[in-house]
Structure 1
Amino acid sequence: QEMLEALKALSTFFFENSLRTRRNLRGDIERRSLAINEEFVHIFKQVKEELESINEDVQAMSSCCEDMSSRLKAAKEQTQDLIVKTTKLQAENQRLEMKAQVADAFIAKFQLTPDEMNLLRGTKDEPITEDFFKALGRVKQIHDDVKILLRTNQQRAGLEIMEQMALLQETSYERLYRWTQNECRTLTQESCDISPVLTQAMEALQDRPVLYKYTLDEFGTARRSAVVRGFIDALTRGGVGGTPRPIEMHSHDPLRYVGDMLAWLHQATASEKEHLEAMLKLVTIQGVEENIQEVVGHITEGVCRPLKVRIEQVIVAEPGAVLLYKISNLLKFYHHTISGIVGNSAATLLTTIEEMHLLSKKIFFNSLSLHASKLMDKVELPPPDLGPSSALNQTLTLLREVLASHDSSVVPLDARQADFVQVLSCVLDPLLQMCTMSASNLGTADMATFMVNSLYMMKTTLALFEFTDKRLEMLQFQIEAHLDTLINEQASYVLTRAGLSYIYNTVQQHKPEQGPLSNLPSLDSVSLKAAMAQFDRYLSAPDSLLMSQLNFLLSATVKDQIIKQSTELVCRAYGELYAAVMNPSNEYKDPETILHRTPHQVQTLLS
């Protein structure tokens, strides 16, 4: 490897391989080596000079550093006290800054800003805004938060702040109460607009029950005067521009007059409740609903007297039983409706309406009783056609109108049913008594016909209305009792006219120990044949033997029923007679020639 390197180096200057060059090769190599060494020495000489220069610089720097070090040492010895003082001052500064931050945080948490103080202590004429409630909420928050201090070593500060906040709260609530009181006093117009600020004020005042109660009283007083004034205006002046017309313009129409007054009151009561609900919608304490009802009761109390006076005038004037009953139902309906809106708190108004309802009901029943007593005082004789008397027709017309108004009323079902029973008792019982007395001097058939017609009229009148089932059932029983009388009378009439009455009665009363029927007078074969001839004439024309009273019956169905059932009685009587004649013990000769028709044939002919 070294040989190769040597040859490679030789090739850089040994270009010609000759004898001469080979002889001079050693000298050339030595000269070249010498030149290289000389060049190396020259270069190192420069390096040595440079190093000596650097050494001089380093020596200078070393001496300079030593000088600076000695000077710094001297300076450090001189400034040591200043550094210690500076360090102490910096630590003190940090401590003071921390205290300042704590103090600022304490003030921010437990004190109000000047603006908030001004809001809470504003002058009497300054309005309350939402910022006031924010500041008041801040006071309450501070008052609650300061309790934390009382659990620490800062009890004195806590007590002072609590006392300060308590005084500020009282001042704020006093100002808020005065403002709210003035606001409520301005709500005397018929239309009442509850502002959001007033709603917030009531929410804030709920923490002071006394002020809260006084404010509600103030609102109630203001609204009471507004409602009374509105009611009087509605009665006498009407609406804006005369529309709607004054209620008293309709005083000639008692039902509308009373209805309009009650409708106005119903609307006013509902409106006042809505106003209170709007004002107290943010209040969260218990008993808000009771407060609303109590204030509504106070507001509506003012209209009770004018309402009572006017309704009493209408009722005492006795506009008639039907109108009195309609007014009574109307009062009952509005009592039920208004109590549904405000509960039973509007006691005075509801009591007034209830009193008027009872008064109208009392006078209504007095009117019915008077009408009934007049019926009994002057009992009419039945008309010649044995139809309902004029007094009965008039009374039934009155009853029909009363029941029709009762059916159309909106009174609760149970109350309507109770009224119905009382009305029917008050009218029907005297009517029945009157009819009985009126028919007392008539014959049996005439009395039964008159009673059936009268009872039928009562029944058809009651059948149109609800809650009359028991009365209808009672009337039906009475009709059937009188129908039985008419059926028996018609059967007797036929048997008498057909010549079978005496024969039938004798057959019924005959006993076997009296001997055969053929031996009895008027029951021999000749007499029976004569009677059968007369009976045959009846069979050929059954309609010819009808009592005249049946033609007076108002109901064709009832008439047909009487004819049918009386015919059945006739057939039954003929059947008994036929059986007696055909009985061998009665010793009739050739009974088939006497009674040549069987009971079945007779029934077929009459059916």
Structure 2
Amino acid sequence: MDPLSKISQILSHSYSDTKVKELFKIISQTELKNDEISKKKFKIDNVSNIISINTKIIQEFEKIIIELKTFKDYISTIKNLTNEMEKEADIISLKSTHFLKQITTIYDRKILINTKQSLLKSFNNNFIIENEDLEILSSISKPVDERFFKILFKVKQIYLNCQKLLIAGYNKAGVEIMEKMDKYLDTGFEKLCYFIQQELKLAKYKSYEPKDDIKKALYMLSEKHDLFKKCLKTISKERQKFLPENSQFELIHNIPLTSIHQIKIQTYDLLQYTSDMLSWIHQTVVNEKDFFEILFGIHIDSESIKIMNDLPNFCSLSEYKDINKVVFEIIDNNILNSCEIFKIETESIIQDIENIVTIYRIANLIQFYHFTLQKIMPNDSCLLNILRNTEKSVMNAFSKNIQKKLHSIKKSNLFPSPQLEAPSFLINTISELKILHKSIEATHNSSESLENCVKTILKIILDPYCDLCCSISDKLDEPHKSIFLINCWKTCEENISQISPGNSKMQEFKDDINNLFKNLESNQLDYFFNASGLNNLINILESKEEKNLERSLDTVLVETSKNFQNFLPFAITNALDRIKYLEISNATRITNKAAEMFIEKISDLINILPQITDNYQTYFHWTPNEIKLLLGV
């Protein structure tokens, strides 16, 4: 549609149309007149403008056409270049494919060569030993150092690697190499054994400290049990030379070679000798144990061993199951001679000692060290057996000494003192018990073991003297017999309560004392009846002669009345005088108890008399209350 048509179309629109409104708005801005000339001019101007615009558009399109022609030339040039490049790329691709094939072939060959070289290197490392290394492994002139151990480790590893060859099916190669490595290992272990034996000859010196090489050598040699035992015998032999010489030197010169007290062998001071010797034995056992722990790099106890070193698994002491037993046998053998000397000396000198406190202290000391060493040594060791036997011998001497003392006391004319006090031998024994208890307390950790020990000592020491007190009491009549025993048992009970409050023996003494108190009450009651004359009256009443009972009763009542009259004022005083050597509080309590029983009996008697005779009050006019008042109960 041309511009004029557009204008005509616009003019044909109604005024309400928005486009028409816009048109009018534009026209109103120009100074146009609505006449024929203006309309023509407006039309001419618009046509002119349109022609001008179209001319410009055509010019622009001409430029675009020129540019497009230029682009076409460029595209044609690019296409030509691209075709040439594609041709060259095809040529290069053909060449590179050939080169890639060659590179792949070369790379595959390189991988194969590297694999073969790696296998060869691995085989040499894992299955071949150099001649130089073999010389170090076998030659005695070459030192046993870190290089030697590396070579021995390598030989052992090759030996283990041969098992992999056998599993993989290379039986011939595996067996051949294994046989060679086995020979090399034997050679290396022989050299190790020789090296260890030479080094351990220095173990007889106190200042000797095993080197790391010797520890490692022993650790590795444990795999060869025969060679290992051979080396252990060398250690044992050298240590057996050192320890007894050390002990004898101290015994003779009193110069301590260890960090303990001097060992003084003196007959008048066996306790000091025992203490020093046992201390030396204990210290020696501990030192020997430490020596072997350092030597083997293990923790030794009587139950099992714990490996402390971190060496390869194929040379481990844990494989040598008897190492613990062997080590303790060595320690046992090393200390045996000194222990035998101690046992002989102790058993010979103990016979001449008379002081049971000293003897028991020695036994207690041996028991303490036996208990202490039992934590280190196995229970079946010779050392512990010697200590057990020595302790048994000392305790036998202890018992014999007590029996000897008892025999000596029995030979003398024993009789209680006038005051019925506990005899001096019992008091001395109790004093010795107190001293022994202090020694026992110092060597027992648990209260249970302490109580058991005290119980045993009381049985050994106190019981024989208590039996002797009973024998002495048989020479006395009541109430003196009971008073004497009460004083004896009271002394024992009071002292035992200080030593061991919960001991069953103390309760036994208390029970015996209570029974003796009852005997005294009964005896005092008998005294009241006899002194008062009432026993005659009771005898008449208890007799079965009923014919003359009333006449006999009257006669007895007359006599009883006279006796009773004289008896009552001094009854309690006289009764107390009979047991005056008893503690006053106990004597008063017993007498009052007997008096109460006496009054009860009189009450029963007064109830019976009216049934037999009517005139009993003529002779026996006292009532129970009057008697109680007169007795002062």
Q: Structure 1 length normalisation: TM-score?
A: 0.73
Q: Which residue in the other structure is 1:107 paired with?
A: 124
Spell out, residue by residue over 1:434-467, the C-alpha distance to the aligned partner (whole angstroms, 9 max, x if none).
Answer: 3344344444333333333333334444444449
Q: Which residue in the other structure is 1:13 paired with?
A: none
Q: Which residue in the other structure is 1:595 paired with?
A: 621
Closer, same or farther: CA 152–515 of 1 in aligned 2, 3 Å: closer
Counterpart-to-counterpart distance in 2, 1:6 and 1:253: 144
Matched, 1:312 2:347: yes
Matched, 1:130 2:159: no
Q: Secondary structure at the match of 1:521?
A: helix
Matched, 1:552 2:581: yes
Counterpart-to-counterpart distance in 2, 1:194 and 1:241: 20
Closer, same or farther: CA 144–560 of 1 in aligned 2, 3 Å: same
The one-letter code sitting in structure 2 at the alignment partner of 1:598 is P
Contact 1:190/1:226 (<8 A) preserved:
yes
Spell out, residue by residue over 1:394-453, the C-alpha distance to the aligned partner (whole angstroms, 9 max, x if none).
Answer: 444445545554455439888877766665455555434533443444443333333333
Aligned length: 520
Q: Which residue in the other structure is 2:295 paired with?
A: 279
Contact 2:572/2:591 (<8 A) preserved:
no
Closer, same or farther: CA 536–350 of 1 in aligned 2, 3 Å: closer
Contact 1:575/1:599 (<8 A) preserved:
no
Spell out, residue by residue over 1:104-144, the C-alpha distance to the aligned partner (whole angstroms, 9 max, x if none).
Answer: 332233213466445423443x4322332222111111112
Counterpart-to-counterpart distance in 2, 1:501 and 1:108: 119
The one-letter code sitting in structure 2 at the alignment partner of 1:578 is I
Q: Considering only aligned residues, what root-mean-square deviation do their CA atoms show, in Å?
A: 4.0
Contact 2:262/2:276 (<8 A) preserved:
no
Spell out, residue by residue over 1:216-263, the C-alpha distance to the aligned partner (whole angstroms, 9 max, x if none).
Answer: 222222222222233233434455699865221766422221011111
Question: Which of 153, 175, 181 is 2:197 aligned to?
Answer: 181
Closer, same or farther: CA 557–277 of 1 in aligned 2, 3 Å: farther
The one-letter code sitting in structure 1 at the alignment partner of 2:566 is Q
1:87-166 matches, cutoff 5 A: 99-100=116-117, 102-113=119-130, 116-124=133-141, 126-150=142-166, 155-166=171-182
Q: Secondary structure at the match of 1:545?
A: helix
Q: Which residue in the other structure is 2:237 paired with?
A: 221
Counterpart-to-counterpart distance in 1, 2:401 and 2:574: 47
Matched, 1:362 2:396: yes
1:422-501 matches, cutoff 5 A: 423-428=457-462, 430-466=464-500, 471-476=505-510, 478-498=512-532, 500-501=534-535
Counterpart-to-counterpart distance in 2, 1:192 and 1:247: 23
Contact 1:517/1:586 (<8 A) preserved:
no
Q: Which residue in the other structure is 1:562 paired with?
A: 590
1:391-430 matches, cutoff 5 A: 391-402=425-436, 405-406=439-440, 408-410=442-444, 423-428=457-462, 430=464
Question: Which of 356, 364, 373 is 1:329 aligned to?
Answer: 364
Counterpart-to-counterpart distance in 2, 1:500 and 1:153: 121
Closer, same or farther: CA 245–367 of 1 in aligned 2, 3 Å: same
Question: Which of 607, 613, 618 is 1:586 aligned to?
Answer: 613
The one-letter code sitting in structure 2 at the alignment partner of 1:277 is E
Contact 1:580/1:586 (<8 A) preserved:
no
Q: Secondary structure at the match of 1:284?
A: helix
Matched, 1:574 2:591: no
Contact 1:379/1:438 (<8 A) preserved:
no
Closer, same or farther: CA 411–513 of 1 in aligned 2, 3 Å: farther
The one-letter code sitting in structure 2 at the alignment partner of 1:483 is F
Closer, same or farther: CA 455–156 of 1 in aligned 2, 3 Å: closer
Counterpart-to-counterpart distance in 2, 1:325 and 1:6: 141
Closer, same or farther: CA 8–271 of 1 in aligned 2, 3 Å: closer
Q: Secondary structure at the match of 2:555?
A: coil
Q: Which residue in the other structure is 2:85 paired with?
A: none
Q: Structure 2 length normalisation: TM-score?
A: 0.70
Contact 2:263/2:277 (<8 A) preserved:
yes
Contact 2:531/2:563 (<8 A) preserved:
no
Counterpart-to-counterpart distance in 1, 2:484 and 2:112: 121
Spell out, residue by residue over 1:126-183, the C-alpha distance to the aligned partner (whole angstroms, 9 max, x if none).
Answer: 4322332222111111112133334567544444432332222121111111111222
Contact 1:254/1:319 (<8 A) preserved:
no
Spell out, residue by residue over 1:181-223, the C-alpha distance to the aligned partner (whole angstroms, 9 max, x if none).
Answer: 2222212233552332222112211221111111222222222
Contact 1:188/1:222 (<8 A) preserved:
yes
Q: Which has the higher contact order (CA 8 A, sep 6+)?
A: 1
Q: Which residue in the other structure is 1:23 paired with?
A: none
Counterpart-to-counterpart distance in 1, 2:548 and 2:57: 196
Q: Secondary structure at the match of 1:586?
A: coil
Spell out, residue by residue over 1:361-384, the C-alpha distance to the aligned partner (whole angstroms, 9 max, x if none).
Answer: 111111111122223333412222
Contact 1:532/1:595 (<8 A) preserved:
no
Q: Which residue in the other structure is 1:37 paired with?
A: none
Identity percentage of aligned residues: 19
Contact 1:499/1:534 (<8 A) preserved:
no
Contact 2:557/2:620 (<8 A) preserved:
no
Closer, same or farther: CA 535–204 of 1 in aligned 2, 3 Å: same
Q: Which residue in the other structure is 1:231 paired with?
A: 247
1:34-113 matches, cutoff 5 A: 99-100=116-117, 102-113=119-130
Structure 1 residue 567 displacement after superposition: 1.7
Closer, same or farther: CA 201–485 of 1 in aligned 2, 3 Å: same
Q: Which residue in the other structure is 2:419 paired with?
A: 385
Q: After alignment, is 323-332 or 186-195 more displaced? A: 186-195
Q: After alignment, is 392-401 or 379-388 more displaced? A: 392-401
Contact 1:128/1:176 (<8 A) preserved:
yes
Counterpart-to-counterpart distance in 2, 1:496 and 1:153: 118
Counterpart-to-counterpart distance in 2, 1:469 and 1:508: 47
Unaligned runs of 5+ in 2: 1-50, 61-103, 299-308, 310-316
Closer, same or farther: CA 445–8 of 1 in aligned 2, 3 Å: closer
Contact 2:260/2:279 (<8 A) preserved:
no
Q: Secondary structure at the match of 1:382?
A: coil
Q: Which residue in the other structure is 1:25 paired with?
A: none
Counterpart-to-counterpart distance in 2, 1:91 and 1:575: 135
Q: After alignment, is 294-303 or 114-123 more displaced? A: 114-123
Contact 1:318/1:324 (<8 A) preserved:
yes
Spell out, residue by residue over 1:327-364, the C-alpha distance to the aligned partner (whole angstroms, 9 max, x if none).
Answer: 1222122222212202135x222222222111111111
Counterpart-to-counterpart distance in 1, 2:518 and 2:538: 19
Q: Which residue in the other structure is 1:606 paired with?
A: 632
Question: Which of 329, 332, 343 is 1:297 aligned to?
Answer: 332
Counterpart-to-counterpart distance in 1, 2:475 and 2:256: 68
Closer, same or farther: CA 514–478 of 1 in aligned 2, 3 Å: farther
Q: Which residue in the other structure is 2:94 paired with?
A: none
